[in-house]
C-alpha cells in the first residue's frame, strides 16, 4: 500500500459559446466583420478557474525550444493549430512568466497583452467558428515553477544538470503557451536544443537527434491526443536505453547516473508490468513507453507524463506500476474536471494493490482492511474522493487510498469477472478521450446489471468514514 506518490507525506464549455454562432447565422455570412466574442479565460473548472480557456480547441502544438542549462535561459517558439468553436474576436492562452516577443495569427502579427497567467490575443480579423487557424508565439526568459495550492512545485523545476518538467495540475503554462486543462487534448511535436552532453526527453517517439556546434537537438513526436499537463521536456545528464518489447512497444529510458543502480532492477520489469497491465486494463493505449528517472531532490512526487513517466528519483516497483497504470487511467482516458481526480489516482493506486496481490504481496482485501481499520478521526476520512472540495486536496490520501477502496468495494459487489470487464470497457470506450465519474458509475451498473448507486454514494461522496458493508 502506498499513499500518494508524494514521498514525504508524499466542464462546462460555455453553453453561451453557441450563442454567437446562432447570432452570426441570423446576421448571415458577414465575412471578416462577423460578430465574434471573446473566448473565456478559463475552461470552467472551479478548482483551477484560470486553467484552460474557452472558445477553441488546440489540435496540435509544435514547440521549438532551446535551453541553456547554465544560464537557465529558455528560448521558445510555439506554433498552435487551433479550431475555433465560436466566432472569436479575442482568445486567451495560458502562459505564466517569460517574455512574449511576438504573436502571429495565420501569419499576421497580432496584438497581445499579458494578464496574470493569461496571454490575451486579439487577431486583426474575427476568427470564424469551425475553422482552423494557426497561432505562433515567440517567447523567452527564465522559466520558474508555480506553487500549487497544496504547496508543491509544479512546472519547469530547474535541477543541478537541467530541469525536471512536470505540469500537473497547472505547470504547463510555465514553459509553453497552452490551453492548459485536461478537457483539451492535442498532438505534439517538440524540438529541444540543449548543450552537448545533456539529453532532453519528451513523450512519444524520438524522430531524430543531431549534434552541431556544441549543442544537441532532440526531435520528439506524440501523435496521440495528450493533455498539456502530461507533456514534458525533462533535461539532464542521462544514460539512455532503447529497445522494443515483444508487443512492439518502443521503450526509451533515460536515467540520471546517480539513480542508475537503484533504478535498474525496477526498470527491467517495465515490459512485464506493461504486459500485465494490458491483460487487466486492455491493450496499452500508446506506441511508445519508457521512463525518465531524474535526480530531483525536493520535488517529492512522480508524474505519469504520457508514454514516459517522470520520476524524481529511482522508483520502487509500486510507483512504476502506478505511473504506468495512469497511461490507461488519466492519460488515454482523461478528466473533464479536476474534481474527478479519483478516476486517475484511485485507479492507479488500485493497480498497485492488484500488482501486489498477484505478485506474492498482500491481497487487495488485506490492504483494504488495514486502511479500513483506521479510526474515524484519521485523515483518510477527511473528505470524500468524489468531491475533494478544492484544488489543494486533489493529491491527498482520501483521493488515492479511499479512491482505491471504492474500486475494491465495486469489485466485491460485482465479482472479478464483471469488475475487469468494467475496467476494459472503460478504457476501450473512452480511449484517446475523456471520462466522468457519472459515466463510470453508469457503465459499472450497465455491465454488472446491478444497482450501485448506494455503493458509489457511500464511498465516493459520503462524508466521514463509511460504515462497513
Ligand atoms: N499524479 C502524480 C501521481 O500520483 C502526483 C502528482 C503530480 C502530484 N503533480 C503533483 C502530487 C503535485 C502532488 C503535487 O502519480
Ligand atoms: Zn498517480
28 Cβ contact partners less than 8 Å away, ≥ 6 residues apart: none
Mutate to test the pocket of ligand 1, among 3, 5, 180 (most ligand atoms within 8 A of CB): 5
Which protein residues have a CB closer than 5 Å to ligand 2 (ion)? 345, 348
148 Cβ inside 6 Å of ligand 1: yes
User: CA 109 to CA 377: how far, in whole Å?
Assistant: 59
Lowest mean pLDDT among 2-16, 291-305, 358-372: 2-16
Name residue 215's beta-bridge partners: 195, 212
Q: Is 26 exposed, middle or buried (0-12, 13-18, 19+ CB in 10 A)?
A: exposed
Q: pLDDT tens, 313-325?
A: 999 999 999 999 9
Q: Which atom of ligand 1 is nearest to the CA of 5?
A: 4
Is pLDDT above 80 for 3? no
Same domain, 250 and 378: no
Nearest to 391 by CA among 42, 61, 68: 42
DSSP-derived 3-state class of residue 75 = strand
DSSP-derived 3-state class of residue 444 = helix
37 Cβ inside 6 Å of ligand 1: no
DSSP string, 381-428: GSS-TT---SGGGTTSHIIIIIHHHHHHHHHHHHHHHHHHHHHHHHHH
User: CA 146 to CA 133: how far, in whole Å?
Assistant: 30
Same domain, 263 and 356: no
323 Cβ inside 6 Å of ligand 1: yes
Same domain, 349 and 236: no
Same domain, 321 and 351: no
Domain boundary pick from 308, 332, 356: 332
Is pLDDT above 70 for 349? yes
Supply the pLDDT for residue 34. 62
Same domain, 130 and 240: yes
Same domain, 265 and 122: yes
Q: How confident is residue 469, by pLDDT bands cut at 50, 70 and 90?
A: low
Same domain, 294 and 317: yes
Q: pLDDT tens, 392-422?
A: 999 999 999 999 999 999 999 999 999 999 9
Tell me the ligand closest to 229's alpha carbon. Answer: 1
Mutate to test the pocket of ligand 1, among 164, 182, 301, 302 (most ligand atoms within 8 A of CB): 301
Supply the range of the domain harboring residue 169.
Answer: 25-332
Same domain, 159 and 109: yes
Q: Are 232 and 201 in contact (CB under 8 A)?
A: yes
Q: What are phi and psi of 234, to 5 degrees?
A: -75, 135
Name residue 303's beta-bridge partners: 310
* Residue 391 counted as domain residue: yes
Same domain, 288 and 371: no
Supply the pLDDT for residue 12. 27
Nearest to 124 by CA among 104, 138, 95, 98: 104
Supply the pLDDT for residue 18. 38
CATH code, domain carrying 240: 2.60.40.1730
Q: How confident is residue 11, by pLDDT bands cut at 50, 70 and 90?
A: very low
Would you mind telling me the total number of residues written for the chain in this entry? 469
Q: Name the domain count of the chain.
A: 2
Q: pLDDT tens, 70-115?
A: 999 999 999 999 999 999 999 999 999 999 999 999 999 999 999 9
Same domain, 287 and 394: no
* Residue 1 counted as domain residue: no
pTM (predicted TM-score): 0.93
User: CA 233 to CA 199: how far, in whole Å?
Assistant: 9
Same domain, 264 and 350: no
* Residue 15 counted as domain residue: no
* Residue 354 counted as domain residue: yes
Domain boundary pick from 282, 312, 332: 332
Is pLDDT above 90 for 294? yes
Nearest to 265 by CA among 224, 223, 217, 315: 315
What is the CA(34)–ligand 1 centre distance, in A? 44
* Residue 384 counted as domain residue: yes
* Residue 316 counted as domain residue: yes
Domain boundary pick from 283, 302, 332: 332
* Residue 20 counted as domain residue: no
Q: pLDDT tens, 144-194?
A: 999 999 999 999 999 999 999 999 999 999 999 999 999 999 999 999 999
What is the CA(448)–ligand 2 centre distance, in A? 27
Same domain, 325 and 425: no
Describe the strand order of the beta sheet including 118-122 as a list of residue ranges.
37-38, 88-94, 118-122, 111-115
* Residue 2 counted as domain residue: no
CATH code, domain carrying 382: 1.10.390.10
Amino acid at each position: 500500500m502506498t499513499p500518494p506518490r508524494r514521498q514525504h507525506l508524499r466542464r462546462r464549455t460555455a453553453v453561451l459559446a453557441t450563442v454567437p454562432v446562432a447570432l452570426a447565422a441570423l446576421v448571415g455570412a458577414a465575412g471578416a466583420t462577423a460578430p465574434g466574442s471573446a473566448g473565456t479565460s478559463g475552461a470552467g473548472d472551479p478548482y483551477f478557474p484560470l486553467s484552460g480557456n474557452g472558445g477553441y480547441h488546440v489540435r496540435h502544438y509544435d514547440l521549438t525550444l532551446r535551453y541553456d542549462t547554465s544560464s537557465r535561459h529558455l528560448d521558445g517558439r510555439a506554433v498552435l493549430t487551433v479550431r475555433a468553436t465560436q466566432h472569436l474576436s479575442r482568445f486567451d492562452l495560458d502562459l505564466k512568466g517569460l517574455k512574449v516577443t511576438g504573436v502571429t495569427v495565420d501569419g499576421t502579427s497580432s496584438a497581445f497583452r499579458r494578464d496574470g497567467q493569461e496571454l490575451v490575443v486579439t487577431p486583426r480579423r474575427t476568427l470564424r467558428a469551425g475553422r482552423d487557424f494557426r497561432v505562433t508565439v515567440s517567447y523567452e526568459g527564465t522559466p520558474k515553477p508555480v506553487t500549487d495550492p497544496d504547496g508543491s512545485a509544479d512546472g519547469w523545476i530547474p535541477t543541478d544538470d537541467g530541469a525536471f518538467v512536470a505540469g500537473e495540475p497547472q505547470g504547463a503554462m510555465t514553459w509553453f503557451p497552452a490551453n492548459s486543462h485536461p478537457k483539451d487534448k492535442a498532438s505534439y511535436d517538440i524540438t529541444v536544443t540543449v548543450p552537448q552532453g545533456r539529453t532532453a526527453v519528451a513523450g512519444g517517439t524520438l524522430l531524430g537527434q543531431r549534434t552541431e556546434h556544441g549543442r544537441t537537438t532532440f526531435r520528439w513526436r506524440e501523435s496521440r491526443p495528450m493533455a498539456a499537463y502530461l507533456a514534458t521536456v525533462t533535461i539532464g545528464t542521462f544514460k539512455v536505453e532503447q529497445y522494443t518489447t515483444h508487443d512492439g512497444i518502443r521503450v526509451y529510458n533515460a536515467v540520471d547516473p546517480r539513480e542508475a543502480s537503484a533504478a535498474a532492477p525496477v526498470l527491467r520489469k517495465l515490459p512485464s508490468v506493461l504486459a500485465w497491465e494490458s491483460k487487466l486494463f486492455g491493450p496499452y493505449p500508446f506506441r511508445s513507453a519508457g521512463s525518465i528517472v531524474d535526480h530531483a531532490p525536493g520535488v517529492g512526487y512522480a508524474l505519469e507524463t504520457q508514454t514516459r513517466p517522470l520520476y524524481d528519483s529511482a522508483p520502487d516497483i509500486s510507483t512504476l506500476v502506478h505511473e504506468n497504470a495512469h497511461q490507461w487511467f488519466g492519460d488515454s482516458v482523461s478528466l473533464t474536471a479536476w474534481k474527478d481526480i479519483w478516476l486517475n489516482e484511485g485507479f492507479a493506486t488500485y493497480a498497485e494493490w492488484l500488482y501486489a496481490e498477484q505478485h506474492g504481496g498482500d491481497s487487495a482485501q488485506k490492504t483494504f482492511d488495514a486502511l479500513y481499520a483506521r479510526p474515524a478521526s484519521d485523515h483518510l476520512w477527511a473528505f470524500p474522493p468524489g468531491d475533494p472540495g478544492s484544488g489543494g486536496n486533489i493529491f491527498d490520501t482520501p483521493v488515492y487510498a479511499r479512491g482505491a477502496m471504492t474500486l475494491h468495494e465495486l469489485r466485491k459487489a460485482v465479482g472479478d469477472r464483471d469488475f475487469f470487464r468494467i475496467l476494459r470497457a472503460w478504457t476501450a470506450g473512452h480511449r484517446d478521450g475523456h471520462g466522468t465519474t457519472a459515466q463510470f458509475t453508469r457503465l459499472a451498473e450497465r455491465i454488472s446489471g446491478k444497482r450501485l448507486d448506494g455503493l458509489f454514494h457511500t464511498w465516493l461522496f459520503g462524508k466521514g468514514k463509511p460504515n462497513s458493508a
